[in-house]
């Protein structure tokens, strides 16, 4: 038995393995069933997008398999779910030949192209009307994968179509690509499949946000992100990119015995799906006649932005494989398929001038002002040039013609310039040496690509910090938008963040354009922001490298914002998401006197600096206080704290004689030393704590 649709069966088996986790003999004997349970759940999650168990339950089963294999290495199989992850480092990608060439597709852009293609297909096949299988044209990086005797043996990039780069290890990281699949049940001994690797819009956005937090230029589009990820030398890193793979074509099959031959493309998609691949079975549509295909294409294009991933068109394939054979192929593309390309999201335009903008951390960003041009229904006039290196790499000059892309809801991006179109009057872009706003000499730190204004009081920076403070993902103060912040700053009302909570509403009411009602609404929005959850405030403070995700991790660790002030660099680094650089930045922020004064002022003004935790419940830990130090292995710190609170206990932020229990995880530091000196504190391990809770 391999992967089956039997949901109940696998759910019950999963429960059984959890119950029998300590029965080594049982686990050893049934290890292949345990693997099937894990494979089944991976498929539910990564292929079907519809998990049947909680992440925590999955992790428990996976850990059980991993530990058993570690104790009994002889039991490891190459297709065990544990074998996806490292060790995997490719020094150089070898070139490998595809079993059959990876062809391209002919393109069509409108109804008449499709009508003409259909006419030829009818003629060559001798059929009056044809059945087509229409499916998304995934906009990612194409791959070719080979299975032999049911095992995944090789993965490659397209390369020149004849040979590509061997990325076998990297593709193993993609959980929607099974490490083994029961092709033998179809009599298949060897098979070469084609598909597309992509990164979905949400993960792409997150990835670019992470780059932005490090002041690095974003990637242009999810396609570049996917193909770049496939060529990373460290397979472990590939795993972190959350890539997905759609498999849409069988390029070559070798049968050991002809059990049942597949008769149509749609049946091959179904077979792949049954075997555990993410083929576009649910996305595809079988349509008779080109007129209905054309109608479908128009409807699909209108829905394009609703998909979680990018597609750049649809692929129309003659469904019957016998007819595909009859139509054959050219050296470039099959005659039985055609791509219908959606409207391009690229355009060319002229660079008129470059402006230099300042960010809340003083970073100077060059911004291209281009001749406005519509792309994908939006007028684009202004595009970030990121930094000096970007301008040099792309060889951009004022007056140049630029190729601009705007993929879906992604911010516009300059793909390239056209030096060959220059007329001689183009001008080099001169990067300023001094801040355009306060004239301070700009500085560039080692290993950084951005120039910064070092003057923390630079009025332009102050304004940017306030704009960030009020933004949607931060304190979300509606009504106090960019324009008002600039205006109030000019009027001298806003000089720093606390001053936002001390606006002179009476004076504001006298101003043109500010009625009693709008002032009242603004006041209400500002008051309301005082009780925003702590992570929003942390994000709003604009600490370098601390975006929303890190802010959430920080807020989970503390009871009060000022607890962060008490943490040293090492303690900060133990927090999820916080590395050396981030810890240093947080540490610097909280040890700056001005910042600490600002935070005290914000608290005095009534802002919520506590991390809102659940109300104290009644339970076995009533009245007892706890503190966790070091990293816990079995649960997240926030989960452990929640458990304490759910059982009536409370969490303290430091070691003192008020503390009852110190729970010590790995690499505990100064807190443990301090606690050892106070006799009334009981020091417990994570396991002791779990026992106590039980």
Catalytic residue numbers read 137
**Alpha-carbon dihedral 360, 363, 368, 374, rounded to 10 degrees:** -40
Residue 227 CB, shortest distance to ligand IVH, in Å, is 11
Residue 543 binds ligand IVH (CB under 6 A): no
Nearer to ligand IVH, 84 or 265 (CB): 265
- CB of 30 closer than 8 Å to CB of 21: no
Residue 84 CB, shortest distance to ligand IVH, in Å, is 24
Count CA atoms closer than 13 A to 428's CA, side-chain side.
5
CA distance 225 to 222: 5
Question: Taking each helix axis from N to C terminus, what angle separates 7-19 and 31-42, rounded to the nearest 10 degrees?
Answer: 130
Binders of ligand IVH among residues 260 to 289 (CB under 6 A) are none
Closest CA to 171 of 88, 96, 63, 268: 88
Binding mask 292-321 for ligand IVH (x = CB under 6 A): -----------------------x------
Q: In this structure, are strands 106-108 and 337-341 parallel, antiparallel, or unpaired?
A: parallel
Residue 488 binds ligand IVH (CB under 6 A): no
Residue 243 CB, shortest distance to ligand IVH, in Å, is 15
Question: Taking each helix axis from N to C terminus, what angle separates 55-71 and 7-19, rounded to the nearest 10 degrees?
Answer: 60
Q: Which residue is nearest to ligand IVH (CB)?
A: 142
Beta bridge partners of 441: 434
Collapse the DSSP code of 113 into the 3-class scheme (helix H, G, I; strand E, B; otherwise coil) and give the result. Answer: helix
Stretch that binds ligand IVH, among 136-144, 453-461, 477-485, 570-578 (CB under 6 A): 136-144
Ramachandran angles phi, psi of 188, nearest 5°: -90, 130
| Binding residue for ligand IVH, selected from 337, 396, 578, 664, defined by CB under 6 A | 337
Nearer to ligand IVH, 299 or 447 (CB): 299
What residues have CB less than 8 Å from 143, skipping those under 6 apart?
155, 156, 157, 158, 167, 171, 194, 195, 196, 197, 230, 245
Q: In this structure, are strands 106-108 and 244-255 parallel, antiparallel, or unpaired?
A: unpaired
Residue 343 CB, shortest distance to ligand IVH, in Å, is 16
Stretch that binds ligand IVH, among 3-11, 67-75, 98-106, 183-191 (CB under 6 A): 98-106
Q: How many CB atoms lie within 10 A of CB 399?
A: 15
Nearer to ligand IVH, 315 or 599 (CB): 315
Binders of ligand IVH among residues 59 to 78 (CB under 6 A) are none
- CB of 215 closer than 8 Å to CB of 144: no
Residue 104 binds ligand IVH (CB under 6 A): yes
CA distance 466 to 566: 26
Nearer to ligand IVH, 65 or 193 (CB): 193
Residue 151 binds ligand IVH (CB under 6 A): no
Stretch that binds ligand IVH, among 102-110, 370-378, 538-546, 626-634 (CB under 6 A): 102-110
Beta bridge partners of 141: 197
| Binding residue for ligand IVH, selected from 47, 61, 65, 105, defined by CB under 6 A | 105
Residue 339 binds ligand IVH (CB under 6 A): yes
Nearer to ligand IVH, 118 or 312 (CB): 312
| Binding residue for ligand IVH, selected from 46, 248, 342, 413, defined by CB under 6 A | 248
| Binding residue for ligand IVH, selected from 249, 265, 304, 650, defined by CB under 6 A | 249
- CB of 650 closer than 8 Å to CB of 644: yes
| Binding residue for ligand IVH, selected from 194, 278, 304, 406, defined by CB under 6 A | 194
Residue 163 CB, shortest distance to ligand IVH, in Å, is 15
Collapse the DSSP code of 410 into the 3-class scheme (helix H, G, I; strand E, B; otherwise coil) and give the result. Answer: coil
3-state secondary structure 121-162: HHHHHCCCCCEEEEEEEECCEEEEEEEECCEEEEEEECCCCC
| Binding residue for ligand IVH, selected from 334, 359, 362, 412, defined by CB under 6 A | 334
Residue 111 CB, shortest distance to ligand IVH, in Å, is 20
Nearer to ligand IVH, 322 or 381 (CB): 322
Residue 103 binds ligand IVH (CB under 6 A): yes
First to last CA, the chain: 38
Residue 249 CB, shortest distance to ligand IVH, in Å, is 5
Stretch that binds ligand IVH, among 41-49, 100-108, 198-206, 320-328 (CB under 6 A): 100-108
Nearer to ligand IVH, 339 or 551 (CB): 339
Nearer to ligand IVH, 169 or 339 (CB): 339
Q: How far is CA 315 from CA 132, 280, 336, 430, 625, in A?
A: 10, 11, 10, 46, 62
3-state secondary structure 214-230: CCCCCCCCHHHHHHHHH
Residue 222 binds ligand IVH (CB under 6 A): no
Binders of ligand IVH among residues 513 to 532 (CB under 6 A) are none
- CB of 337 closer than 8 Å to CB of 226: no
Dihedral over Cα of 646, 56, 206, 217: its sign? positive
Nearer to ligand IVH, 103 or 169 (CB): 103
Instruction: Tell me the helices (H) and strands (E) count for the chain, helix number first.
Output: 25, 20
Tokens of 508: 């504001």
Residue 197 CB, shortest distance to ligand IVH, in Å, is 10
Residue 138 binds ligand IVH (CB under 6 A): yes
Nearer to ligand IVH, 223 or 241 (CB): 223
Q: In this structure, are strands 661-664 and 682-685 parallel, antiparallel, or unpaired?
A: parallel
Residue 142 binds ligand IVH (CB under 6 A): yes
Residue 201 CB, shortest distance to ligand IVH, in Å, is 17
Residue 197 binds ligand IVH (CB under 6 A): no
Binders of ligand IVH among residues 116 to 135 (CB under 6 A) are 135
Interface residues with ligand IVH (CB under 6 A)? Answer: 103-105, 135, 137-138, 142, 194, 196, 248-249, 315, 334, 337, 339
């Amino acid at each position: 038995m391999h992967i089956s649709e039997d949901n109940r069966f696998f759910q019950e088996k999963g429960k059984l393995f959890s119950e029998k986790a300590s029965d080594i003999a049982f686990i050893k004997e049934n290890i292949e069933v345990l693997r099937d349970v894990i494979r089944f759940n991976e498929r539910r999650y990564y292929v079907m997008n519809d998990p049947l168990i909680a992440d925590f339950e999955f992790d428990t089963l996976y850990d059980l398999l991993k530990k058993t294999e570690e104790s009994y290495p002889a039991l490891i199989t190459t297709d065990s779910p544990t074998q996806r992850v490292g060790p995997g480092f490719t020094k150089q990608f070898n070139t490998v030949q595809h079993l059959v060439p990876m062809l391209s597709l002919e393109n069509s852009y409108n109804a008449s192209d499709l009508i003409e293609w259909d006419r030829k297909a009818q003629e060559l096949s001798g059929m009056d009307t044809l059945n087509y299988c229409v499916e998304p044209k995934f906009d990612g990086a194409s791959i070719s994968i080979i299975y032999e005797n049911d095992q995944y043996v090789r993965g490659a990039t397209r390369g020149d179509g004849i040979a590509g780069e061997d990325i076998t290890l990297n593709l193993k990281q993609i959980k929607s690509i099974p490490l083994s699949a029961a092709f033998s049940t179809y009599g298949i001994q060897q098979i070469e499949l084609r598909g597309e690797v992509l990164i979905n819009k949400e993960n792409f956005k997150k990835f670019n946000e992470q780059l932005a937090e490090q002041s690095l230029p974003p990637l242009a589009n999810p396609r570049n992100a996917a193909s770049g990820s496939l060529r990373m030398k460290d397979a472990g890193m590939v795993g972190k990119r959350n890539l997905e793979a759609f498999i849409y074509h069988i390029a070559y099959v070798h049968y050991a015995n002809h059990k049942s031959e597949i008769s149509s493309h749609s049946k091959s998609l179904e077979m792949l799906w049954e075997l555990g691949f993410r083929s576009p079975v649910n996305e595809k549509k079988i349509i008779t006649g080109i007129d209905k295909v054309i109608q479908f294409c128009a409807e699909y294009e209108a829905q394009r932005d609703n998909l979680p991933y990018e597609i750049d068109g649809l692929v129309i394939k003659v469904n019957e494989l016998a007819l595909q054979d009859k139509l054959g192929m050219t050296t470039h593309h099959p005659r039985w398929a055609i791509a219908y390309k959606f409207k391009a999201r690229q355009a060319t335009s002229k660079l008129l001038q470059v402006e230099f903008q300042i960010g809340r951390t003083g970073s100077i960003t060059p911004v291209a002002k281009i001749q406005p041009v519509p792309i994908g229904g939006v007028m684009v006039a202004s595009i970030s040039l990121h930094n000096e290196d970007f301008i040099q790499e792309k060889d951009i000059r004022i007056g140049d013609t630029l190729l601009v892309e705007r993929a879906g809801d992604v911010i516009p991006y300059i793909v390239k310039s056209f030096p060959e179109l220059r007329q001689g009057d183009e001008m080099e872009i001169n990067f300023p040496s001094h801040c355009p706003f306060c004239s301070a000499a700009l500085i560039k730190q080692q290993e950084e690509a951005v120039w910064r204004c070092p003057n923390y009081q630079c009025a332009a920076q102050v304004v940017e910090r306030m704009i960030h403070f009020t933004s949607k993902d931060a304190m979300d103060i509606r009504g106090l938008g960019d324009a008002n912040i600039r205006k109030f700053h000019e009027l001298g009302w806003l000089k720093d963040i606390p001053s936002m909570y001390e606006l002179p509403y009476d004076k504001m009411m006298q101003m043109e354009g500010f009625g009693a009602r709008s002032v009242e609404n603004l006041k209400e929005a500002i008051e309301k922001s005082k009780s925003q959850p702590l992570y929003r405030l942390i994000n709003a403070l604009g600490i370098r490298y601390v975006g929303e995700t890190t802010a959430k991790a920080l807020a989970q660790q503390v009871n009060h914002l000022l607890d962060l002030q008490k943490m040293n660099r090492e303690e900060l680094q133990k927090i999820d998401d916080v590395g050396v650089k981030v810890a240093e930045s947080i540490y610097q922020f909280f040890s700056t006197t001005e910042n600490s004064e600002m935070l005290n002022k914000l608290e005095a003004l009534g802002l919520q600096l506590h991390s809102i935790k659940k109300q104290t419940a009644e339970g076995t830990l009533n009245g007892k206080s706890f503190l966790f130090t070091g990293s816990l292995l079995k649960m997240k710190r926030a989960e452990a704290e929640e458990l304490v609170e759910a059982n009536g206990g409370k969490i303290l932020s430091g070691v003192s004689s008020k503390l009852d229990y110190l729970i010590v995880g790995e690499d505990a530091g100064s807190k443990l030393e301090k606690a050892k000196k106070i006799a009334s504190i009981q020091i417990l391990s994570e396991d002791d704590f779990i026992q106590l809770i039980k």
